[in-house]
Amino acid sequence: MSAGSERPTGAGLAADLVVRRESFDVCARLEVPPGGRLALLGPNGAGKSTILGALAGAVPLAEGRIAVTGGGEQARERVLDAPGRRSVPTHRRGITLLEQRPLLFPHLDLVANVAFGPRARGMGRRQARALALDWLERVGLADRAAQRPHRLSGGQQQRVALARAFAAGPSVILLDEPFAALDAESTPRVRGLLTRELARTGTTALLVTHQLSDAWDLADRCVVLESGTIRERTAPEQIATTPRSRFGARLAGFGVIEGMCAPGADGAARPVLRVGDALLPGVPDPDAPPRRGESALGIAAPEDVDLLPLDDHRGRAGVVGQVIGVQASAGRVRIEAENGLIAQVSPEAAARATGGGLPVVGSRLRLAPSSLRLVQDRRQDEAAR
Ligand SMILES: Nc1ncnc2c1ncn2[C@@H]1O[C@H](COP(=O)(O)OP(=O)(O)OP(=O)(O)O)[C@@H](O)[C@H]1O
């Protein structure tokens, strides 16, 4: 039997879940069509692993519902978790979790490790072994089939874990930062393998990552999660060019500042961002325009932020920020301030703003964005309901 023939029939994922955590509830509405690939991005502690745990059946739901959906015209739904129903146990969900560290069984050789899933699903010993060997061949480790995991490098072990995950024939594969524990040499190989096998098998996937490049390579859609709520739903390439959340902006290298959307001077049609007593001019994002009187984000590319001397209040267009990072390279100086804005200016401009020399961490500067995109600062699920 070829490894490819074990491919599951197309299944998607539909979840609307609430998990209680001490500091906040993790709430997410996620829909991944059969064969779709969704990246889950967000800062540390945002709730990404909690969501994967809930989908896998390891974390109980407080509210909501998780279902796998069939593809084709007769779309069927299999509910895995919902209030008042007994939750489907982890091993019966058809959902496989690939973690950062390859958690292989140390007492089993590689072929037995990979054959474990198919055997647990009731496949005969010989057939499961042939399938496992096929997968080991695919990940380039067939010649190590009889060895135990401890004889392999971390990258090789992750390739075995990948073979094991796919050999189980999951409807949905959950990938929790699958390259985080790998070095720069192993990462491209494992990433290439994963990209290829996801495309070849058409397995529906949910990927947690901190890298925009992973979302770009492996996902067709992504969501940004902050403090347990979804702040942005978009395509990976859009995050890179037009982010609409704090984390998305930071990930793509933009500066982002929080404020209130206020009417422009003399009630001008174009709103401004009020940050403390500064009024920053901006252009409302056409797809997520902020409402006046509500909190909003101002997002700017570093090259659109100027530095002014502290006592320069021209048009009250600047905001004072404390410097938290300075990087000088190739005739440019990148300055990051604690208020979220990032500026990228020439050394001469930096010297003008500081009165000579480069800014130092802890000093205060006036940052004036010349072009700010104003975006509503609202939970996505709230907006959708
Ligand atoms: N087993 C648990 N019991 C209770 N609270 C937890 C548990 N695991 C995580 N938390 C809390 O839930 C919140 C979300 O954590 P989670 O690990 O899901 O975030 P994450 O986005 O995956 O973070 P990271 O990127 O650091 O892995 C955090 O406040 C965390 O402290």
Atom 24, ligand 1: residue with shortest CA distance: 44
Judge if 3-240 and 253-383 fold alike in CATH terms. no
- How far is the centre of ligand 1, averaged over its atoms, from the C-alpha of 26 (Å)? 9
Query: Was domain 253-383 assigned CATH 2.130.10.10?
Result: no
The CB density around residue 36, as the number of other CB atoms within 10 Å, is 18
Question: Would you say the CB of residue 74 lies under 6 angstroms from ligand 1?
Answer: no
**Residue 118 near residue 128, CB atoms below 8 Å:** yes
Residue 250 has pLDDT above 90, yes or no: yes
Q: Please report the pLDDT score of residue 81 as a whole number.
A: 86
- Cα–Cα nearest to 6, from 199, 203, 178: 203
Q: Please report the pLDDT score of residue 256 as a whole number.
A: 96
Distance CA 352, CA 341 (A): 19
For 45-93, the pLDDT digits (tens) are: 999 999 999 999 989 899 999 998 875 555 678 888 887 788 888 878 8
Atom 3, ligand 1: residue with shortest CA distance: 21
Please compute the mean of the pLDDT values over residues 132-138 and round it to a whole number.
93
Span of 224-238, 273-287, 370-384 with lowest mean pLDDT: 370-384
Q: Please report the pLDDT score of residue 267 as a whole number.
A: 58
Tokens, residue 143: 């010649």
Please compute the mean of the pLDDT values over residues 353-374 and round it to a whole number.
91
Q: What percent of the chain has pLDDT over 90?
A: 59
Q: Please report the pLDDT score of residue 6 as a whole number.
A: 42
**Domain residue extents for the chain:** 3-240, 253-383
Query: Was domain 3-240 assigned CATH 3.40.50.300?
Result: yes
